[in-house]
Structure 1
């Protein structure tokens, strides 16, 4: 009996593969790399796999290649290059990472949107014509009954920094007023970071004070004083807010003796007592890893994310300079000023760093 070899041409159209079979194959691969490549085959595969989530417990550093190309590399904390994606959707845009697999991006046309680089899903946000300093995503917009809010920290009149917020689908941003006291310089509300914590939204000022955002769904949203600055607080560097278990914490980079913007002596960490509004200086993150920089500030349990070291701060400090990307081991620096240690990257990653787009931390498939 004459046998005939099957070729690709004999196979029915790959685009018409049954959804059930395609998702079954995707589940069997158990590989983020293969999952991403399957979504890139064609539109029908991308649509079929849009809701097919896999757990990929890794924090990635997203880096853009130089030049005018649309290639982005995702450097895994426990592999070398995780994968490369062609993302024309980010052309001409600045973006901020998150622990939810989503980016918040801002274009030259002042358009702002949520974008998932892995599923290619997107949610529109209102335009903002101001100079954006940071965009912060409160929660995963894909969660059931998600009440996701995006905060925009931006520069306004007379170099004053303001904060506004919006939800996907809103027609305009709403600016938060501030009830704090003005000082001789004109405006005290220089906000550095914001966080959704235990059902409320908080912000930290450059001066170390904590504000509570009130009436976000009402007629007069505002920021009110919640907690004073920590004792002996030395500001001047960006402050970051983060959750450490049941506690709200803040950290900021210690001032450098020589005022070198790209050198870091270390970080000081404070824990807030929400009842007494008092601060305690702490010297450990426990089993958590903290991620700072061009992203929503977040922590992860190091044991759940291979490659992460517990009690460490991973920082890009919102800069494109190699010197500002590194790891700060809290315990090791308790009695010694070792400072930021270089982030371990392969040679093929290092050439990506001199880019106009700062690297961002992102968790592609959060647990």
Structure 2
């Protein structure tokens, strides 16, 4: 009886907290990342967990209600649904090296692919991909139309996989057939920034409600964000349109798992961009209307998180 009661107490720590309509901010921390702290913005509350399938793992990307996970200690690679805890095995990550990852759709979709991208050198990328359930990865080297560029960001929008190149910020598309090919979408480059040339930029690309957005964080010095410029792709004209208002949506930017949600459904503040930095425990909220940034420490229990950055995970309720 005592063992059963003890098991009941331990059970909640082995599963994620109840899903909400806004994303969790997930920190991996503790010895070798064995613990996870889930922060909910709508609750303004954090939950500490110890979930076996998340211990000492790398979150490669998260979309369509799933997380692509790699275990750097065992080379295990799989998809994980953080609500049902359903696990879909992927081929071994033993020979996998990558800079970017994208999940094209839910693994229940027969056309779903998991795609890893590595920039070999300027003008060339190596892609590694599979369908969930495949026993092996398919590997290819691809040449970009711009010889002097690399792929900086990748995202799935409208069932298609798009990449954004460095330097001229051109949009490319990965066509999945018998083999995988890459081509430029065409149209205009991402507009130049109006900020001083000495400024540095951090770029994120996010799909939201079937639309494709690019966020350009303008840095003063190494880390201080002074402004965020937002653009949306008009596919009918193949031009980037400057966004003046985010409306009833909030956006969440991170290293690998950027996402968005409706503020009407979630109850959080709209017209806001939330972002985190790689080696920082703070949460930054950029008000898109007045350009002010507020900084909070959402999870004071996290003293020194694992070498992997915190990431946003949006579960499907």
Question: Same fold, TM exceeding 0.5?
Answer: yes
TM-score by length of structure 1 reads 0.71
Residue equivalent to 2:106: 140
- Structure 1 gap segments, 5+ residues each: 1-7, 15-33, 41-53
Q: Secondary structure at the match of 1:131?
A: coil
Residue equivalent to 1:43: none
Task: Choose from 142, 157, 161 the match for 1:177.
Answer: 142
Taking the TM superposition and a 5 Å limit, the aligned residue runs for 1:1-367 are 37=12, 56-68=20-32, 70-108=34-72, 109-128=74-93, 129-142=95-108, 145-156=109-120, 162-170=126-134, 171-175=136-140, 177-183=142-148, 188=149, 190-207=150-167, 208-214=169-175, 216-219=176-179, 221-227=180-186, 228-233=188-193, 237-245=201-209, 247-254=211-218, 256-258=219-221, 260=222, 262-306=223-267, 308-317=268-277, 319-322=278-281, 325-333=283-291, 338=292, 340-343=293-296, 345=298, 347-348=300-301, 351-352=302-303, 354-364=305-315, 366-367=316-317
- Structure 2 gap segments, 5+ residues each: none
Look at both structures and tell me which one has the larger radius of gyration over its CA atoms. Answer: 1
| Count, aligned residues | 301
- Cα deviation, 1:306-357, whole Å, max 9, x if unaligned, reads 3x3211111124x02235x411111111xxxx4x421452533xx3454322
Contact 1:73–1:81 (8 Å) recurs in 2: no
- How far the C-alpha of 1:157 sits from its partner, in A, is 5.6
- How far the C-alpha of 1:86 sits from its partner, in A, is 1.5
- How far the C-alpha of 1:172 sits from its partner, in A, is 1.0
Distance 1:305 1:192 in 2: 30
Distance 2:232 2:127 in 1: 24
- Cα deviation, 1:14-55, whole Å, max 9, x if unaligned, reads 9xxxxxxxxxxxxxxxxxxx9x73986xxxxxxxxxxxxx86
Name the structure where helix makes up a greater proportion of residues.
Answer: 1
- How far the C-alpha of 1:293 sits from its partner, in A, is 0.9
Contact 2:25–2:312 (8 Å) recurs in 1: yes
- Cα deviation, 1:45-92, whole Å, max 9, x if unaligned, reads xxxxxxxxx863232111122224622111111224443322233344
Q: Secondary structure at the match of 1:37?
A: helix
- How far the C-alpha of 1:225 sits from its partner, in A, is 0.8
TM-score by length of structure 2 reads 0.81
Distance 1:135 1:179 in 2: 18
Please give the root-mean-square deviation of Cα atoms over the aligned residues, in Å: 3.2
- How far the C-alpha of 1:133 sits from its partner, in A, is 2.4
Name the structure where strand makes up a greater proportion of residues.
Answer: 2
- How far the C-alpha of 1:104 sits from its partner, in A, is 1.3
